[in-house]
Structure formats: structure tokens, C-alpha cells
Amino acid sequence: MTAPTICAHCHTHLAPGLLACPSCHTLLFGARLKELALQAQTAERTGDRPTEMARWREALDLLPPSSRQHQTIAGKLEALAKLPAARSAKSPGGVWWKRSLGVIGAVVLLLVTKGKFLLSGLLKLPTLFSMFAAFGVYWTIWGWRFALGIILTTYVHEMGHVAALVRYGVKASAPMFVPGLGAYVRLHQHLASARLDARVGLAGPLWGLAAGLFCYGVGTAADQPAWLAIASVTGFINLFNMAPIWQLDGGRAFTSFATLDRWIATGILTIAWLGSGQGLLLVIALVAGWQAYRKNDVPRDGGALALYGGLALALAWLASVNVPALR
């Protein structure tokens, strides 16, 4: 949307990038904001939460961050994100049998039910080209079977981020691979809060864990060490992403952790290291302790802490899976 160059209210000349007039404080996109609010309210009445969040998300980008309206809409988006996902009317009896499945069965179910969504990312040519480039590099190092397995589990990890962003109404690119460095998803909008950023960050390791458990289940059932090797390396890669530094997924989670939560996470990481013997966990625990020492005066985020701790323990176990000699 093109920003006006002159304020319609006081006729002040406006610099590029402004969202409100510096003289009279009139919102420059007032008409569009009213339209988006009406669309969001209509979506709320019809129960279309993704559209509702997308409209509020678009409105947020048209408001100055310091404005009262920006804070109100950011709070509304965070509240919407906490609501449980609506159940599909097409499968009212699906809940009980999902709960009756074992861990591996549930993971298989997750990958099957999300199959259409996972395939959607492969329809993007930039994703496919970057994936093939990374596959070629890994093939020369490990052979095509192992390379393909790691590429696919990495792709599932990144689509976990995309799924969370879609849920919160945030526009983003499809996954892009960087040979030797993994993959990434580029956001086209900013997240409304650190709490949402934490959940988007942790969605990657969560889906990565699901992919690793799927490989573990296949490797165990079929007695195939190659699948177990892919599962173990997938666990290690996702565990590395839990490190609370820079733009890694763990770093995004730690931004929403209060000081006490950071110390609790450090304790969980230490326990995971003692139980698994994974040296990487000791390094992550030390970094987490350093982050806790720096302190973070924010409200506690128990949901993100529980997810982070559970992922740390599960990924530590997966990364430590015993892999028989490949045949």
C-alpha cells in the first residue's frame, strides 16, 4: 500500500515510512485500518480464526508500535493464539483414537494428516532448487540415502515454523536451504510479541522431533540401521537449534523466559546432559546459565518453558539412540 505524502487532516508534508502524522498524530492508513477491523470482526463472527488473525496482523503493520491501538491489537493476537485449535467437523470421532495411539503411531498420524501441508512447500520452485543444491552437497559426503533423509527431516522442521506462522496469521516464505548450514524461513511481517516468537521458534524442533521419531519407528520396526542413523542425527540437529543464542530456535524461546524460567531451563538441560551424556547439552546448559545470569524482567511464560523442557529431554534421548553398524 502506498503511503500518503501529505496529511489529509493538517496538510503536513510527510516523510517516507511514517504511519502517523508527526504534527496532528492522525493515523495515515485510517481508512484501511477500519476496513481491516471490519473484516476481522466478520471473520470472528463466522468462526474463521485464521482470517481474523491475518486481518489483525495486517492492521498491526499499519500502526505505530508506540500507539495504544498497536498494543491493543498485539494483545488480541496473543489471546487468539492461545485459544485451542478448532476441531474439524469432518472427523468428530478422531480424538479418542488419536489418544490411544502410542508415541510412534501418533507421530505417523501427524505426518500423514499434515501431508498436504508438507507437500505445499515443495510446490515452490526456490525451495525445490535450494533443496536439490543441498542434497547434492550432502550426497557427496554421506551418500544419497542418508542425504535425502536429512534433507527431508530438515524440511519438516522448517515447515513446523511455517505452520505456526500460518496459525498466527503471519506471512512468510517457504523454506530455503543453504548447503552446509541448514535451512531457514524468511518472515514478511513482524511477530506481535516475544511469546509468539517463542512458539514459532519451538515449532521447528517440535516438528523435527516428530520427523525423527518417525524415522526411529521405521528403523526399529524394519531393523534398518540407516533409518536409526537419520533419526539420531535429526535429534542432534534439532537439539543444536535449542541453544539459546542468536536467531536459533532456543534463542527465540529464551527471549520470552523470565529469569526464573531461564534457570529452570538450565536445570532441565543439565539433567538431560547427565542422563544422556550428550556433550552438546553441557554446552547448551552453560550458555543457558549465562543467559539466566543476565536476567530478563518479563512475565513468566509457563507454556513455552514446558515445551522447551520437554523438547530438550526428548531430543536428548533421540540424539543418543544406539545405531548398529550399517549394513
DSSP per-residue codes, 79-148: HHHHSPPPPPTT-TTHHHHHHHS-HHHHHHHHHHHTHHHHHHHTT-HHHHHHHHHHHHHHHHHH-HHHHH
184 and 35 together in one domain: no
Q: Which of 83, 111, 130 is the last residue of a domain?
A: 83
| Mean pLDDT in residue range 246-275 | 93
161 and 270 together in one domain: yes
Residue type (1 letter), 184: Y
- Mean pLDDT of the chain, nearest integer: 82
Q: Is 326 a member of any domain?
A: no
- Model confidence at 34, in pLDDT bands (50, 70, 90)? confident
172 and 255 together in one domain: yes
Closest CA to 189 of 163, 169, 167, 160: 169
Percent of the chain with pLDDT over 70: 86
| Mean pLDDT in residue range 254-267 | 94
99 and 65 together in one domain: no
Flag whether pLDDT at 40 surpasses 50. yes
Flag whether pLDDT at 270 surpasses 90. yes
**Least confident piece of the model among 62-76, 156-170, 253-267, 279-293:** 62-76
133 and 244 together in one domain: yes
- Model confidence at 84, in pLDDT bands (50, 70, 90)? low
Q: Is 88 a member of any domain?
A: no
183 and 302 together in one domain: yes
* Backbone phi, psi, residue 298, to 5°: -135, 160
Flag whether pLDDT at 103 surpasses 50. no
Q: Between 289 and 108, where is the model more confident?
A: 289
State the pLDDT at residue 102.
47
148 and 237 together in one domain: yes
Domain of residue 199: give its range.
Answer: 94-319
Q: Between 162 and 188, where is the model more confident?
A: 162
pTM of the model: 0.70
